Structure 1
């Protein structure tokens, strides 16, 4: 046991997981997600299928690690957040707090992951499913589902996607929160646009 409270086995498992994630992003980025078999990743990291499947459910799962890490942290932050005032502000503030928790390594992997998603129909579909599951979980954690709550969650996800579109050309880590603030601020005005 170390002073950080993790065993040697836990640290080794974490290193293997990190190697799989980082190598997956690199190798899928070079060769294409759909064109790269899982065995190529396993060979590159020198792990067995058994080891891989102890860490991830699928090839898609490892490719989307940065996305899943973000939304897992978001749900944790949302649970910790006091829910008072406009819910759109609660959702925005939870996203800003989540982004603040992400480390430099995540900020390097995340844009590469988004590019992989954009280039792969199968990853795109997997991401849409994960997004729908996360949205449903947000609604569930806030209580009784209603049309208004479901719409608000959809609007917040749309604001997040617009913030990402604004951020993606440069991908400067410190700039993503500003794009999130601007997208959420524009949400109310956009709903009141007139023909």
Structure 2
């Protein structure tokens, strides 16, 4: 039993196992048979759960396909909500991302790479991913605003978060294009290198 499950009550362990099994099976079926060709009935039959159980865990077929994204960012938001926000915000957000990447389960990077590769060929997943990115950006802004207090400059804060999200997106695209080279460590290194290039990018000439 993995450490993240061991500490949970039995009911929560069962729920998390079901959620993970749905995500793993969905990714396998979508990859093997095609996203459009695989129905929710196919997924539920493969996992031997009802659609009611599916919708207790995921909102849609797109949602379960992008589970590795939501796993990362829900963990990230939970972590940021506990931080004392001292120093430059961009550095705080990036350090929190490093911590979150390190805390993901050992198989997360494989699932994330497979999800990115699947999404590249499915317009519905691309659209859903853009919407999820928008929602996540807003959630980070709200979380940081709550932690920062009433005197925060909303425009500067939003711009900082947008730069943070753009840098992550750039690094993860590069990692995916490399076929996930280096695994988790490779992704973390690309994140570090991408963030280091932000000052130069802000003065980049066409």
Task: Flag whether TM exceeds 0.5 (same fold).
Answer: yes
1:35–1:175 distance in 2 versus 1, CA, 3 Å = same
* Distance (Å, rounded) in 2 between the aligned partners of 1:87 and 1:112: 31
* 1:179 CA displacement: 0.7
Q: Retained in 2: the 8 A contact 1:21–1:62?
A: yes
- Unaligned residue ranges in structure 2 (runs of 5+): 1-5, 146-151
Q: How big is the alpha-carbon RMSD for the aligned residues of Structure 1 and Structure 2? A: 1.9
Among residues 174, 181, 188, which one is paired with 1:177 in the alignment? 188
Structure 1 residue matching 2:81: 3-state secondary structure? helix
Q: Which residue of 1 aligns with 2:35?
A: 33
* Distance (Å, rounded) in 2 between the aligned partners of 1:5 and 1:66: 20
1:143-172, Cα deviation, whole Å (9 max, x unpaired): 256222222211111111111122122321
Structure 1 residue 115 corresponds to structure 2 residue 139:
no
* Distance (Å, rounded) in 2 between the aligned partners of 1:27 and 1:5: 29
- Unaligned residue ranges in structure 1 (runs of 5+): none
1:5–1:180 distance in 2 versus 1, CA, 3 Å = closer
* 1:69 CA displacement: 0.7
Q: Which residue of 2 aligns with 1:194?
A: 205
* Distance (Å, rounded) in 1 between the aligned partners of 2:78 and 2:15: 23
Q: Which residue of 2 aligns with 1:6?
A: 9
Structure 1 residue matching 2:38: 3-state secondary structure? coil
Q: Retained in 2: the 8 A contact 1:21–1:63?
A: yes
Q: Structure 2 length normalisation: TM-score?
A: 0.86
* 1:5 CA displacement: 4.7
Q: Retained in 2: the 8 A contact 1:60–1:126?
A: yes
Query: How many residues in Structure 1 have an aligned counterpart in Structure 2?
Result: 193
